[in-house]
Chains A and B, each alone.
Chain A
Amino acid sequence: MTHSDDQGLVLPPRLAPISVAIVPIYRKEEERQAVLAACRTLADAIRAHPVGDWLHHEPLTVKLDDRDHYQPGYKFNEWETKGVPVRVELGPKDLANNACVLARRDLPGREHKVMGVPLAAAPARILEMLRAMQTDMFERARKFRDAATVEVDSYDEFKKLIEEPGGFLLAHWDGTRETEERIAAETKATIRCIPFGPAKKPGKCIVTGNPSEGRVVFAKAY
């Protein structure tokens, strides 16, 4: 629920059960054989590529989608919905150039596809992509959260903001259960945590005006 989009699941590469899905593209039987052979070689090369501690020394997992009864477009959609981080496309034209096409799940659209990646360089390139995707996903989620985290100094403003747009509201609270329960009853927001971090600055409770040791995090929660 942190990363997924309207196309389906988006999984962080370090936890994705399948790291890479290879979709072969062919029409004629002789194309099929040559393309599948190249895909198998590439799949083995990706599995053999050293990953190090990034995956606790486990290999990358590769799914070669060699099902004959589905079209490539259907396969793209399926792996996209399942959140596989990197997709490899390999067809006769790519094979003629000893290359393949790479697509990152979190960067949809044709413009983000990486064309003409030499097959020999593909495993290293894929690992690089996976690592970048892991970092980018975290940064994107952090920016989203930070943008939806605001300091609030009046209860009226609090009530308005918690409805729309919602998010984490940093507000002063007098430390009593009564005030916490009143806020929960009136706004459905609860105290999520009393955050560790920068030194606490004292202030006045937004509800009672009594002294507060520092801001706490309010939000509606699951």
Chain B
Amino acid sequence: MRAELYHRSVVAVLILLLTVPVLATLLYSLSEHWGATILPDDLSLSWYLQLWQDSAFLAAFGRSLAVCLGTLLLATLIIVPAVFVVFYRFPGLDKLMNALILIPFAVPPVVTSVGLLNIYADGPLNITGTPWILVGCYFTIALPFMYRSLANSLASINVRDLMDAAHLLGASTPVAFLRVILPNLRKGLMASLFLAFSFLLGDFVFANLLAGSHYETLQVYLYNMRQTSGHFTSAIVMSYFLFTLFLTWLTARFSK
């Protein structure tokens, strides 16, 4: 019984440690004022109303959504066929691919930014300060999640048998891929897309260093709002947090 009490208290402390900052931010965003009292004085949604009518916030949120969704669309169009080709035609490449996709994951974004800023600041590809450079970086952030998830889905079905069966029934390779293989990848793809989405939304380093005020995303907007009221910034933090929670929930739903 003593052991049970101990384990329950440890888990309770863990929950407390993790949730207190979130709950405090939530309460702060919902309160008009909060001085030296345990609970704030009066609750209201006024900070959220102010935030969601702020055109700068809506524009930044829109930019974030545009660049993230654009990246995920491009990544799907590029990565899905690539993983399939590796599995179907060049299975020997899988090892190399697994090593390559880890590079963007292992190298800190600050380091990559140093190279990117210097390569794309002038020359033929002058894309620094535009959303295009973010699309490129975000592609590499999404890559490990999407590749691994798709590779796992493909490994769990017998690609060659399915393709051979489709060929025997008269389907061409592209048709067989679209109608036989692709439906099998749907769940894994959706789960990895939502996971990647929440990672992309969380990016501050690339957005701040490569695009900055030229293309102010949600995270950069939040940082630039640091001098305003803490109630207002906590309303931004909570709005962002709830949105990523929604994405996490979708990821979990599709992972089952």
Chain A bound to chain B: no
Which B residues lie at the A interface, using CB under 8 A? none
